[in-house]
Structure 1
Amino acid sequence: MAHKLDVPSMWSEQMGAVVAKQNELAKDAYSTDQSIEEMRQAYRSERRFWNEGGPHVESAEDRMVPTRYGSIPVRRYVPQASEEEHNESARPLIVYVHGGGWLIGDVDTHDRITRTIASLTGAIVVSVGYTLSPEAQYPQPIEEISDVTDYIVQHAQEWGIDPQDVSFSGDSAGANMAFGALLYLRDHGKAVNARSMLLFYGAYGLRDSRSMRLLGGPWDGLTEADYEYYLKAYLGDLEKIREPYVNILDNDMSSAVPPCFIVAAGLDPLKDDSEALHELLDIAGVDNEFVVYPKVIHAFLHHSRMLDDTIDAMRRAADFFHSHKI
């Protein structure tokens, strides 16, 4: 790829070891040359290794939640509580939306991430198993996530959560949909009392950027052609990239947008999306923190077994969460 930077020469030693392990586990996990079902199976297979170990939680319970499209699966994580937390009647809620280019991934592929977030924040984390594309195209996944959030808030006692203390989190396409769901609820008269958003290397609406031009390759499945493939699967018609809950950057950020913790990977084609979001929130006067990990690639949040930056990113996200109480 003559027009691309030599990313393997730029990543950290730990990141290089992760990529080598990734290739050993499932070399073609990110190849869009295979069928969607083959992609999903390879992704699940590769993620099993990364989900081993990690923090324990008090419980991880699979439930079904009704939406306008029918019931969808979620996983509710209750972290181990301190004595003070045991005396509290309800916990904060974090709604987590997994990544995977809108068409791969599930609550299992992101299990260690969500366990870690629950453990570090002390919040009840609900990981949403939205219907994947192309079986469900925009706006269905956004509406499912919005419906799940609204349902849990309306049934707060049953879920053990404080309905006045809600946060959203997600990685990659999940960060896009988490932000989209927050805006959807706001715009449809169901705004939640949001504490924060914890957003990891999301896609927020840029179709072209310096980072997209210079970065991306087989190690992350995010060349321009790969990204267009994902968008077509999710949107059907690429003109829908302009839709407000897809192009997050085109939205009014001046009301009902909580403090945002924004993480970018320095060697990620989507890096400029995160930087643009950070600058837009600054303009709108929204409290936010923008952190770049310069020597890692997209999807590094999965790699806490081998990558120190992963642990640091989640700890900093938890610190941000704790410092922004309702």
Structure 2
Amino acid sequence: MALLPALLLLLLLLLPLAALVLGTVLLALPSYEIPPGVNQPAKLRLVLAVLLGTAAVGRILEKTGLCSQITFGRYVRQGRRLRVDPKLFIQDLQFNKVPVRVYQPKAISHGQRRAIIFFHGGGWVFGSLDTYEKVCRYISRESGSVVVSVQYRLAPEHKYPAAYEDCLNATIHFMRNTEHYGVDPARISVCGDSAGGNLAAAVSQTLAGRSDLPKLRAQILIYPGLQALDFNLPSYQQNRGVPLLFRERAAFFALQYLNGDASHMQEVLEGSHIPPDMRMKYRKWLPESFILTCEYDVLRDDGLLYKKRLEDNGVRVTWYHLEDGFHGIISLYDYGGFSFPSGKRGLDSVVNFLKGL
């Protein structure tokens, strides 16, 4: 019977917290815009409420000294390792001391497979192997490819260039050991969404001139963040209050990763700034590219500008645009009631591109 008073006390403590969080969410909701053309606006408003509630709880926990807002956000977004997949062989390994999860189709292959090295999104601050488990499983199963998901170090504990170095080192390790996975070294691509798209572009640029490694077959950039110099592009203005990425949060993530120091900006974003005197070299070296953008995304114009820059340098680009999509829609794939049909379409566009390589 002593348990009952304790439960009642806990309930009394939680009720004010719940009321405070609910009040915060209700007050904040009207200041965010859900465009009428977005995919399933009512559901996206529910996702927005969850995001705002999570942020409110995180702020409370940080003020009480229990944990930081970022730590709580990571816990909520963590995801979980799924059950055994009958179509995939999955194992957790380390490539050059970088944790990775390798997905290999069990189906018999009549030759060496293609491979995708995947860098997750999350603003360089959030995200994990578990967070993107469903996405990587889907890509591996549907495209018949080996997928290597990379768990790079996160900011602000590990600032630039930690994430980039982890992604580069893991990629190089895999390129040098393709025989262990039945992979054709000429069919390796890098892929990433959001911040992961930035990392994929940076790794692709770095490997462009390496004569000691296989040439990347392609780079697949899903609503990538490719510049942090201008937060006043049309897409930043039009979609500043559209979830899952708000204009202010985009700037926050960039500063967390770069430590607020713009001196390294050109280095980390060199994928979107190709010097004119190197055009002929990049025309020869840069791999075929796939870029996915969403209409209701602050990073929309990052992808469009990069598409134009690549095409100006003679690089073949496949562009897929989700007219009713928003930032982060791919990461919600198979996320229960929070999934969106256009996210599945976007993911299938990636798979279809891979099948053509």
The question of a shared fold, defined as TM-score above 0.5 by the shorter chain, is answered with yes
- Whose radius of gyration is greater, 1 or 2? 2
Match of 1:291 among 307, 320, 331: 320
Q: For residue 138 of structure 2, what is the amino acid of its counterpart?
A: T
Residue matched to 1:319: 352
Correspondence list, 1:164-243, <5 A:
164-187=186-209, 189-208=211-230, 209-217=233-241, 219-223=243-247, 225-240=248-263, 242-243=265-266
Matched, 1:307 2:340: yes
Pairs within 5 Å for 1:14-29: 14-21=40-47, 23-24=49-50, 27-28=53-54
How many matched pairs?
A: 311
- Provide the identity percentage: 22
Match for residue 246 of structure 1 among 256, 269, 274: 269
Change over 3 Å in CA distance of 1:247–1:226 after alignment to 2: farther
- Aligned counterpart, 2:155: 133
Distance in 1 (alpha carbons) for counterparts of 2:263 and 2:74: 27
Q: Deviations over 1:36-74 (max 9, x none)?
A: 95334434434639x9799864122111121xxxx1210
**Are the structure 2 counterparts of residues 30 and 92 from structure 1 closer, same or farther at C-alpha, using a change threshold of 3 Å?**
farther
Mapped to 2, the partners of 1:41 and 1:151 lie a distance apart of 33
- What is the root-mean-square deviation of aligned Cα atoms in Å? 3.0
Question: Relative contact order: is structure 1 or structure 2 higher (C-alpha 8 Å, sep ≥ 6)?
Answer: 1
Decide whether the 8 Å contact of 1:32 with 1:229 is kept in 2.
no
Aligned partner of 2:100 in structure 1 is 74
Call closer, same or farther: CA 1:308–1:124 in 2, change over 3 Å.
same
Q: 1:40 to 1:56 in 2, by over 3 A?
A: farther
1:38 aligned residue: 69
Amino acid at match of 2:90: A
Counterparts of 2:318 and 2:56 in 1: how far apart (Å)? 30
Conserved? CA contact 2:34–2:45, under 8 Å:
no
* Structure 2 residue matching 1:104: 3-state secondary structure: coil
Amino acid at match of 1:273: D
| Secondary structure in structure 1 of the residue aligned to 2:79 | helix
User: Partners of 1:266 and 1:32 in 2: how far apart?
Assistant: 30
If each structure's helix is expressed as a fraction of its own residues, which one has the higher value?
Answer: 2
| Structure 2 unmatched ranges of 5 or more | 1-30
Structure 1 counterpart of 2:299: 270
Unaligned runs of 5+ in 1: none
Structure 1 residues 169 and 15: CA distance shift in structure 2, 3 A: farther
Distance 1:14 1:47 in 2: 25
Distance in 2 of aligned mates of 1:269 and 1:149: 29
Q: CA shift at 1:226, angstroms?
A: 1.9
